[in-house]
Amino acid sequence: MNSSTYPKSHLVIAALLVLFLLSFVGTRYNDGGERFNSRDVLQSVASHPPVTTSGTPPSPENADSQTLPEQVVQPVAPEPELRIKAVTVKPGDSLAIIFKREGFSPRQLHSLVTSEPLGPRLKDIFPGHELVFASNGAGDLVSFEYSPGPLETLVFTRNGKNFDSRELVAQPSRSIAYRNGRIDHSLFVASQRAGLDDALTMRLAQIFQWDIDFVLDIRKGDEFFVLYEDLYLGDEFIGHGRILAAEFVNQDERFQAVYFENDDHGDYYAPDGASMRKAFLRAPLEFSRISSNFNLRRKHPIWKRTMPHRGIDYVAPQNTPILAAGDGKVEKASRTEANGNFVILRHGEQFTTKYLHMSKFARGVRMGRSVEQGQVIGYVGSTGWATAPHLHYEFLVDGVHHNPRTVKLPNATPVPAAHRSAFDSSSTRLLTTLEQYKNQIDLALGQ
Ligand SMILES: [Zn+2]
């Protein structure tokens, strides 16, 4: 190795060590959350190429605190002073503003954001994200870290005029959590009382959105039981992981779902192995806290058989997003006096769905365009013959109106045969665990 590179590599070693020490200390006093753990930073030290004065680069796999090369911790010659600073992105900030505030030149910012492969991701900074700068005595940026989330850190290290970049992903530990609730007023009220946050409640509803109409069909007395993961980094709770198993009792009908991963793809299945995903969503409306509460306060619209009204009316706040019930093509996106702004979707040979009285269409929804299930196609309004904002929804099979709640639909794709036995044992284990939790709660309540 060229001896002239030695001082430089020492500088980087020192920079990264100081960075590690300071950021480690920093996380103790930062209640905003530990953005990366010490092991990741040690990996970042150990796997950085200039560290390898011996000539053999340690691989990131074995470079943890135990196998850190010895020369890294040996005392080195006096080092130039390093400046380390952690910055939390504030509302209204951009990288340009932050770099100026911290005294770094636009040129350094440019070489950072144009560094491959991760530089472009620096365009996505949001308030609350954390940035860590390490600069040398000359004011040059030596390394830069950006944490887009609690588990992920992008590390940029200077390499001549440019920066090398790498992504560190911390593996959280997972623990199983259980919650259950009974609905009095709305799903969200019940789940909050049960200790579920709204995001998890939304995910719970999404698992069952092909079977249950969460806008119209939720009733007092409905119940849910959820087994899910809590994620921790060290002792710190950092968020909810996946829902592993769930049960929803809607108007005395019981639905169960279990999470199953095969070929790196995870999804939810019924205990018999059928996918929870089906050709059509139950409710072609974005389900939210607002719309659900909104509907529960009202008399529920019903399936009306009398002519000429042959659809379901979803009373919902103005501009609630309307979703394509299934994959299909836009047959019409137009306006008439009676329908107002309306969209007709064709789903293969047999099925057609209609959406009336929209306030406006979603961007790009035009005749001939393909849409995916769940895609926003427009917004609830009261155009045409409508006295209040609502979505009038029709479902046709071979051109004849049907009740989407009772029509026989194509079967969902089941677990692939090759994964069937793995699914069966995983599903049994999860549902048994769910059952045990349910029984424990019953015991605790003396039931
Ligand atoms: Zn109607």
φ, ψ dihedrals at 298, nearest 5°: -110, 165
Tell me what the pLDDT averaged over the chain comes to.
79
**pLDDT(357) > 80:** yes
pLDDT at residue 78, rounded to an integer:
53
Tokens of 107: 């040129």
Are the C-beta atoms of residues 353 and 401 closer than 8 Å to each other? no
Q: By three-state DSSP, how is residue 59 classified?
A: coil
* Straight-line distance from the first to the last Cα atom of the chain, in angstroms, rounded to the nearest whole number: 75
Q: How far is the CA of 328 from the centre of ligand 1 (A)?
A: 22
> With contact defined as beta carbons under 8 Å apart, do 223 and 249 qualify?
yes
Q: At what angle do helices 6-28 and 38-46 cross, to 10 degrees?
A: 180
Distance 112 CA to ligand 1 centre (A): 56
46 vs 268 pLDDT, higher one:
268
> What distance in angstroms lies between residue 419's CA and the mean position of ligand 1's atoms?
44
Interval between CA 95 and ligand 1 midpoint (Å): 50
Task: State the distance from the centre of ligand 1 to the C-alpha of 411, rounded, in angstroms.
Answer: 29
333 alpha carbon to ligand 1 midpoint, in Å?
A: 18
Expressed in angstroms and rounded, the spacing between residue 28 Cα and the centre of ligand 1 is: 58
C-alpha pair distances (Å), 3 with each of 8, 270, 311: 10, 65, 80
Residue 254 CA, ligand 1 centroid: distance in Å: 29
With H, G, I as helix, E, B as strand and everything else as coil, classify residue 104: coil
E-assigned strands of 191-339? 223-233, 236-250, 253-262, 265-269, 312-315, 321-323, 328-336
Q: How far is the CA of 357 from the centre of ligand 1 (A)?
A: 9
What is the per-residue pLDDT for 49?
34
CA 337 – ligand 1 centroid, Å? 14
CB-count burial class (<10 Å; 0-12, 13-18, 19+) for 233: buried
380 Cα–ligand 1 center, Å: 12
Which tens digit of pLDDT belongs to each residue from 162-177? Answer: 899 999 998 899 999 9
Closest CA to 353 of 385, 331, 386, 376: 331
Task: State in Å: Cα 385 to ligand 1 middle.
Answer: 9
Q: How far is the CA of 156 from the centre of ligand 1 (A)?
A: 57
Read off the pLDDT of residues 281-340 as tens digits, 9 standing for 90 and up: 999 998 775 555 444 444 444 444 334 567 888 888 899 999 999 999 999 999 999 999
Phi and psi of 69, rounded to 5°?
-55, 140
Residues in the chain, overall count? 447
C-alpha closest to that of 378 among 401, 361, 402, 392:
361
Q: In terms of Cα–Cα distance, which of 10, 12, 20 is closest to 135?
A: 12
Distance (Å) from CA 355 to ligand 1 centroid: 10
- On the question of a cis peptide bond just before residue 148, with omega within 30 degrees of 0, the verdict is no
Specify the pLDDT at position 262.
Answer: 85
For residue 363, report the distance from its CA to the centre of ligand 1, in Å. Answer: 24
Contact criterion met (CB below 8 Å) for 419 and 262: yes
Phi, psi at 61, each rounded to 5°? -65, -40
- Residue 429 clears pLDDT 60, i.e. is over it: yes
- CB distance 312 to 303 below 8 Å: yes
* pLDDT at residue 53 greater than cutoff 80: no
* Residue 60 to residue 50: CA distance in whole angstroms: 14
Ligand 1 centre distance from Cα of residue 391 (Å)? 7
Average pLDDT for 82-104: 89
| pLDDT confidence band for 401 (50 / 70 / 90) | confident
DSSP 22-50: HHHHHHHT-TT---S-HHHHHHHHHTSGG
Place of tokens 């059952």: 435
The CA 50 to ligand 1 mean position distance, Å, reads: 69
Helix, coil or strand: residue 420: helix
- Residue in 313, 317, 357 with CA at minimum distance from that of residue 337: 357
Spell out the domains of the chain, with CATH numbers in brackets: 3-169 (3.10.450.350), 173-278+413-444 (3.10.450.350), 289-402 (2.70.70.10)
